Amino acid sequence: MNNTRSSRGLTILAAVALPLVFAACDDDPIEPAGPIDVTIDFAAAVNGAAFACGQTFSNVGASQTTITPVDFRFYVHDVTLLASDGSEEVVSLEQDGIWQRDNLALLDFENGSGPCVNGTTATNVSVRGTVPAGTYTGVRFTLGVPQSMNHADQTTAAAPLDLTALFWSWNAGYKFARIDHTSAAQPEGWFVHLGSTGCAPGGDPTVPATSCANQHRPTFEFTSFNWETQEIRADYGTLLQASDLTANTGAKGCMSFPGDPECPVVMNNFGLAYEGSQPSGQSFFSVR
């Protein structure tokens, strides 16, 4: 009788315990098997303060100039998340028909108001897409328009390559970044227009280029980046930290072309070499 009672008791305990085990398993987090949606946020700033059309910012550049930004836009491509195991995955961008096309995205922080009259009312402050499920701890991206998309007829191009304000010519291609400001010292504007130069064939500006001597497409990598909690800040103030914004001896500011005395420090702060001047790093992007 005692053995029968003990055996029956064990059977009842097992029957009760099994559902508890499975219930505990149900509470364990389950990693998604398929692609996951990611949103990589960007922000625009001037010396750490949030950019806004119509806002003035003081103590900018080596000249400690008070400026009024009038534009803040740039293209990025080949956005890639870096996994904790050393692998990497290119973000498959959402093809939204407005801001993202193929592997290219336009970040636009101006809203067309006040002094930003050359802009658009719509803004875009993130890159959106999917990657395979995994643990990602870093990010890499390239500033600019890929060579394969850079030299085409802008009048028939699909968004986000259909903006006249970001286009130079079929030969020169697009302005990869356009960040402009005015000041009391430069009321007609001091501009940063990043783009490829020395493009060939030259001559007829309507003939698409097949190569450019100066690509001007810097790549940025941050090995510590959490896309769920952090953003990538583009700071115009740190880009211009060594610039004399009262000077304008070449083009209006730096427009990437050779021989411009305002360009060496700006291009170096993008992380680009320029006519013999070598960068020690870049100061435009940071993770926050």
CA-based nearest residue to 120, from 181, 65, 66, 165: 165
pLDDT in tens, 167-187: 988 778 999 999 999 999 999
Secondary structure (DSSP) of 167-181: EEETTTEE-SEEEEE
Distance from C-alpha of 233 to C-alpha of 8, rounded to nearest angstrom:
67
> Which has the closest alpha carbon to 194: 271, 79, 286?
271
Whole-model pTM over 0.85: yes
pLDDT band with cut points at 50, 70 and 90 for residue 10: very low
Mean pLDDT of 3-17: 41
Residue 113 Cα to chain centre, angstroms: 22
